[in-house]
Amino acid sequence: MPLVFLSALPMALHFGISYALVHWASLGFKGAPLAASVSLWISMLLLAVYVLCSKKFEPTWQGFSSESFSFILAYLKLAMPSAAMVCENTETIAYMITYGLSAAASTRVSNEYGAGNLEQAKSAMAVTLKLSVLLALIMVLTLAFGHNIWAGFFSDNPEIIKEFASLTHLLAVSITLDSMPGVLSGVARGGGWQHLAMYANLATFYFIGMPIAGLLGFKLNLHARVR
């Protein structure tokens, strides 16, 4: 619960900070990313204060020491491929639900692997994957029946709303299929296969996906329908 509260508080403050920087400070669109940065710093400082002041962390947090840096290379061997997997696909930003399930799958699978419970690890993967697909289908149904409402949040231009409606069926397929790789990437991280997942993402998104997108978008003139 403390982590939920410490995440919810900066999010609540973010609305006021964004409004103040965009409108009161007259920063315009520059105020939005600045507000996001301020909110993230607030979140980090709150978590730091909680860790330093809470008695729960006394057995695990003894302060900074040179010994902690002796394992930094081992940590980077795991962290860098995981970070590369996220950076290779910038659309991860738009899939925070799947990203959350990916993190949950990674933690659960790694715990079960560490305990030697391979069947439980498989079960955790299956449950998370099914949940991700179910949530994707809910999003697809919402988009299918409310695409005009969703487009209306961003524009009242009939042409734009009509164009967005023509993309709905393509988005439905894309959202459904995209719900699975995120979870599977989390399973790969939990199993210690970060490097394999990184190579798979690199090949599919850049070596395969980008040439196909260029061909469909510019040669076949599909434009925005390419994703």
Is the pTM here over 0.75, yes or no?
A: no
Give the residue from 68, 90, 122 where a domain finishes: 68
Could you tell me the residue range of the domain that residue 182 belongs to?
A: 78-227
Contact 170, 227 (CB under 8 A): yes
Q: For residue 90, give the DSSP letter.
A: G
- One domain, residues 46 and 94: no
Mean local confidence (pLDDT), 62-72? 76
Instruction: Answer whether residue 73 is part of any domain.
Output: no
Write the pLDDT tens digit of every residue in 25-56.
888 878 888 988 999 999 989 988 888 888 88
Write the pLDDT tens digit of every residue in 161-170.
888 788 788 8
Give the residue from 45, 68, 91 where a domain finishes: 68
Q: What is the pLDDT of residue 110?
A: 81
Contact 39, 17 (CB under 8 A): yes
- One domain, residues 93 and 49: no
- One domain, residues 178 and 95: yes
How far is it, in rounded angstroms, from Cα 87 to Cα 74?
21
